[in-house]
Amino acid sequence: MKRSHKLEYNRKWVKTKRSSTVAESSKISPLDTESESSDIDVLSSASSVECCFEHGSPMAQATPQISDLVVNQEQNIVGSENDSDDSGDSATHQHVALSSDSEEEVDACFSLQSLMVDWAHKYQVKHNAIDGMLGIMRRCGHDDLPSTARALLKTPRNVPVDKKSGMDYVYFGLGEMINKNLGKYPVEKIQNLKNIEVSFNIDGLPIFKSSGKTAWPILCAIVNIKPVKVFPVALTVGDSKPENLEFLDDMVAELGKLLDNGLTHKHQTIKIAVRCFVCDAPARAMVKNIKSYSGYYGCDKCAQRGIHKDMGRMTYQKIVNLPHRTNQSFREQTNEEHHKGVSPLCHLPIDMIKHFPIDYMP
């Protein structure tokens, strides 16, 4: 619910409350009934006194007391009228106080909502836990709070989709996502931050068991701030793996600018450095545009020719006097049998050998 809708709702509530209060104040109260009956009694007493005076009754001696009683009663009536006027004024003040209190409640609700957002970001609370907390708070009287974590954190529902590498492609923006995730850390952790180290992961994963659709996300992590946060930079979805490496172009172009110029975050410039690209063997061969690990020259670290063994395994048996691969030899493609083409990652100022660690096999 938007803020304007909430304010309109509270104004209607205050208006209804004011009308009900005025209606109640217009009714005759028991005190008014008692005052009318007391007026009748006083008048009857006065008439009886006059009769006593006419007949010379001793009751005439009570005249001062009865007259005082009449005067006092009239003063009480005037006082009750003044009290009713004061009550009307107090009701008006009460209405004003109700309207101001309702607006304060709306502001307090928005303050509570922003505090919950900060809490969720600071402690990396899972969405199902946030949903449970919101349900409890709504049952305890906080009806203005959203009912889901997606509504609380304002998760976008619609994003523009392009076509790249024969698949549906969405690019979220590297700099924008880094800034967004830096904002989730406590201020004391990032106020004096000068450098950021990022790692990337590129890999494919099946989406459904009943279909062949796969997703190839480009994930990034800020690794020199704890806890480590992993977030998507781009997402590619299709019926098979990407046809080419075009889906890397946007990330490579923006990363190159950030490495040269740094990242601007809250009026301060932070230097960006790449720690590594973490990929398994098939994905690493694809993004580097080289032969697979099962090829004769598929080794990432040396240029020796492999030997097929039993069960079709490719082995690299030499362990001494090996022709090691270097960043320069990779970019110059001195071992042509190792390469299938030029990778977009070669446009980055990174080491194409050292920045791609070998994945371990558990």
Residue 339 gets the label, from left (phi > 0), alpha (psi -120 to 50) or beta, of beta
Q: Determine the pLDDT at residue 26.
A: 53
d(CA 142, CA 159): 31
The tens place of each residue's pLDDT in the chain, 362 residues long, gives 455 666 677 677 667 767 666 555 554 444 444 444 444 443 444 444 344 434 444 444 444 443 443 344 445 444 444 444 454 455 444 544 445 555 555 555 568 888 888 888 878 899 999 999 999 999 998 888 899 998 988 877 777 889 999 999 999 999 999 999 998 888 888 888 899 999 999 999 998 888 889 999 999 999 999 889 899 999 999 998 899 999 999 999 999 999 999 999 988 899 999 999 999 989 999 999 999 888 888 888 888 888 887 777 888 888 788 888 999 999 999 999 999 999 999 999 999 999 999 877 65
Secondary structure (DSSP) of 175-221? HHHHHHHHTTS-HHHHTT--EEEEEEEE--EES-SSS--EEEEEEEE
CB 229 within 8 A of CB 221: yes
d(CA 33, CA 38): 9
Among residues 295, 339, 330, 331, the alpha carbon closest in space to that of 316 is found at 295
Q: Determine the pLDDT at residue 294.
A: 83
Distances (CA, A) of 218 to 232, 233, 248: 6, 6, 8
Q: Determine the pLDDT at residue 361.
A: 61
CB 105 within 8 A of CB 141: no
> Phi, psi (5° rounding) for residue 208?
-125, 150
| Coil/strand/helix, residue 292 | coil
CB 18 within 8 A of CB 90: no
Distances (CA, A) of 72 to 38, 39, 75, 289: 12, 11, 5, 107
Distances (CA, A) of 240 to 81, 167, 171, 210: 87, 8, 19, 14
CA angle at 219 for the pair 216 and 221, rounded to the nearest 5° = 165
Q: Determine the pLDDT at residue 81.
A: 46
DSSP label at 290? Answer: B
Q: Determine the pLDDT at residue 238.
A: 93
Contacts of 112 (CB under 8 A, 6+ apart): 142, 145
Please name the residue that has the structure tokens 């659709």: 213
Q: How many CA atoms lie within 13 A of 304 on its CB side?
A: 15
Distances (CA, A) of 266 to 137, 187, 220, 259, 269: 33, 11, 21, 18, 8
d(CA 235, CA 217): 4
d(CA 242, CA 227): 32
Helices (H), 27-62: 30-55
CA angle at 159 for the pair 156 and 162, rounded to the nearest 5° = 165
Q: Determine the pLDDT at residue 11.
A: 73
pTM above the 0.85 mark?
A: no
